[in-house]
Chains A and B, each alone.
Chain A
Amino acid sequence: MAIDTFLQQVVSGLATGGIYASLALALVMIYQATEIVNFAQGEMAMFSTYVAWSMLNAGVPYWAAFLGTLVLAFLGGFLIERVIVRPVEGKPVLTLVIVCIGLLVILNSLAGWIYSYVIQPFPSPFPRAPIRVGTVVFGPHDLGVIVVTLAMLGLLYAFFRYTTLGLAMRAAAQNPGSSRLCGIRVGRMLGLGWGLAALVGAVAGLLVAPVIFLEPNMMGGILIYAFAAATLGGITSPFGAVVGGFLVGVIENLAGTYIPFIGTELKLTVALLIIVVVLLVRPTGLFGHAVVRRV
Chain B
Amino acid sequence: MAAILEVEDLHVAYGATRVLHGLGFTVEARGITTILGANGAGKTTTLRAVSGIVRPVGTVRFDGRRIDGRPSEDIARLGIAHVPEGRGTFVGFTVEENLRLGAYVRRDRAAVGQDLDRVYAHFPVLGERRRQAAGTLSGGEQQMLALARALMLRPRLLLLDEPSLGLAPLVVQEIFRIVRTINERDGVSVLLVEQNAALALGLADHAYLLETGRVVLAGPADEIRRNDAVRRAYLGY
Contacts and interface: CB of A to CB of B under 8 A. Distances in A.
B86 to A, nearest CB: 10
A183 B77 contact: yes
A168 B73 contact: no
Interface string B39-67: 00000000000011100000000000000
Given A168-B104, A171-B101, A177-B53, A182 B89 contact: no
Contacts of B53: 177, 180-181
B84 to A, nearest CB: 7
B72 A181 contact: yes
A185 interface: yes
B179 to A, nearest CB: 18
A178 interface: yes
Interface residues on B, range: 20 to 34
B93 A181 contact: no
A181 B71 contact: no
A67 interface: no
Contacts of A120: none
Nearest to A177: B88
A284 B177 CA distance: 44
A5 B200 CA distance: 75
**Interface-central residue, A174, A179, A183, by most chain B CB under 10 Å:** A183
Contact of B90 (A164, A171, A180, A183): A171
Nearest to B97: A167
A186 interface: yes
B30 interface: no
Contact of A182 (B52, B71, B105): B105
Contacts of B71: 180
Contact of B88 (A164, A168, A178, A184): A178
Contacts of A179: 73, 101
B95 interface: no
A181 B83 CA distance: 8
Interface in B82-120: 82, 84, 88-93, 97, 100-102, 104-105
Nearest to A170: B93
A264 interface: no
B187 to A, nearest CB: 21
B89 A184 contact: no
A175 B86 CA distance: 13
Where chain A touches its partner, the secondary structure class is helix
Contacts of A185: 73
B81 interface: yes
A164 B73 contact: no
Given A167-B97, A171-B93, A186-B73, A181 B88 contact: yes
A182 B93 contact: no
Nearest to B102: A182
Interface string A181-203: 11111100000000000000000
B216 to A, nearest CB: 29
B72 A180 contact: yes
B51 A181 contact: yes
B214 to A, nearest CB: 27
A178 B90 contact: yes
Nearest to A165: B104
A196 B117 CA distance: 34
Contact of B73 (A171, A174, A184): A184
Contacts of A184: 73, 101, 104-105
Nearest to B52: A180
B11 interface: no
B149 interface: yes
A179 B84 CA distance: 12
B140 to A, nearest CB: 19
A178 B134 CA distance: 14
B190 to A, nearest CB: 16
B90 A181 contact: no
B89 to A, nearest CB: 7
A168 B101 contact: yes
B172 interface: no
A45 to B, nearest CB: 29
A170 B97 CA distance: 11
Contacts of A167: 93, 97, 100-101, 104
Nearest to B146: A178
B20 to A, nearest CB: 20
A170 B100 CA distance: 13
A183 B104 contact: yes
A179 B104 CA distance: 9
B230 interface: no
Interface in A105-122: none
7 contacts: A167-B101, A168-B101, A174-B90, A179-B101, A182-B102, A183-B73, A183-B77
Minimum-distance CB pairs A-B, first 3: A183-B105, A183-B76, A178-B88
